[in-house]
C-alpha cells in the first residue's frame, strides 16, 4: 500500500465542496463524492466511482515517528492532524491521490509527505510536485539511508549451508 500524508491544522481542513472546487481549478480530473465529509469519513473514497479512488484517514498528530525524523518534525511544526491517502498502486488511483494530497496541502497550508522518496513538501510546492514540475522539498527523511546493512554472520552462513545441503540431497534423490 502506497500512501501520501498531509500534516495540517485540523481547523484548516476544507469542506468537500471547497476541496472539489480547487481540484477542478487546479486542472485535476478528480471528483470527490458530494456526500464525503473530510472530518468524519474513514475508508475508501471513490473519485468519482468505485473504479478510481483511495483510502482516506484523518488522524490526530501529536508526536513524530522514527520514519519522520528530526528534519521532518521541524517541517511539520505544530500541525495537529494528518490526512493519509492510501492506494494500491494503480495509475488512476495514484493520480487521484496525488491531486487530492497536493490540493489539500495547498488549501490547508499543510506539509505533504511523499514516503517513496522521503520528501516533505510545503504547501507552496505541493501543486508543482503533483504536476511533476521542479520543486524543492522542505525536508528529506533519511530513514532509508539509516537502515542497518545486512551482514554475513555465522548464523546466516550456517542457514545458507543447510539450505544448500538439503537442495543437494533432494537433487541426488531425484
- pLDDT by residue (tens digit) across 150-164? 567 788 888 889 999
pLDDT of residue 98: 93
pLDDT of residue 134: 87
pLDDT of residue 70: 86
CB atoms closer than 10 angstroms to residue 99: 22
pTM: 0.78
**If you average pLDDT over residues 137-160, what whole number do you get?**
69
pLDDT of residue 145: 44
pLDDT of residue 150: 57
Amino acid at each position: 500500500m502506497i500512501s501520501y500524508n498531509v500534516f495540517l491544522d485540523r481547523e484548516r481542513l476544507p469542506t468537500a465542496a471547497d476541496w472539489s472546487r480547487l481540484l477542478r481549478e487546479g486542472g485535476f480530473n478528480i471528483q470527490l463524492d458530494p456526500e464525503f465529509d473530510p472530518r468524519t469519513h474513514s475508508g475508501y473514497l471513490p473519485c468519482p466511482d468505485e473504479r478510481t479512488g483511495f483510502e482516506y484517514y484523518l488522524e490526530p498528530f501529536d508526536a513524530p515517528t522514527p520514519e519522520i525524523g528530526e528534519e521532518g518534525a521541524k517541517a511539520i511544526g505544530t500541525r495537529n492532524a494528518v490526512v493519509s491517502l492510501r492506494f494500491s498502486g494503480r495509475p488512476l488511483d495514484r493520480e487521484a491521490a496525488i491531486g487530492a494530497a497536493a490540493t489539500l496541502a495547498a488549501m490547508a497550508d499543510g506539509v505533504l509527505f511523499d514516503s517513496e522518496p522521503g520528501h516533505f513538501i510545503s504547501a507552496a510546492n505541493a501543486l508543482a510536485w503533483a504536476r511533476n514540475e521542479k520543486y524543492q522539498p522542505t525536508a528529506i527523511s533519511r530513514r532509508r539511508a539509516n537502515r542497518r546493512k545486512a551482514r554475513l554472520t555465522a548464523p546466516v552462513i550456517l542457514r545458507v549451508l543447510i539450505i544448500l545441503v538439503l537442495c543437494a540431497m533432494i537433487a541426488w534423490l531425484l
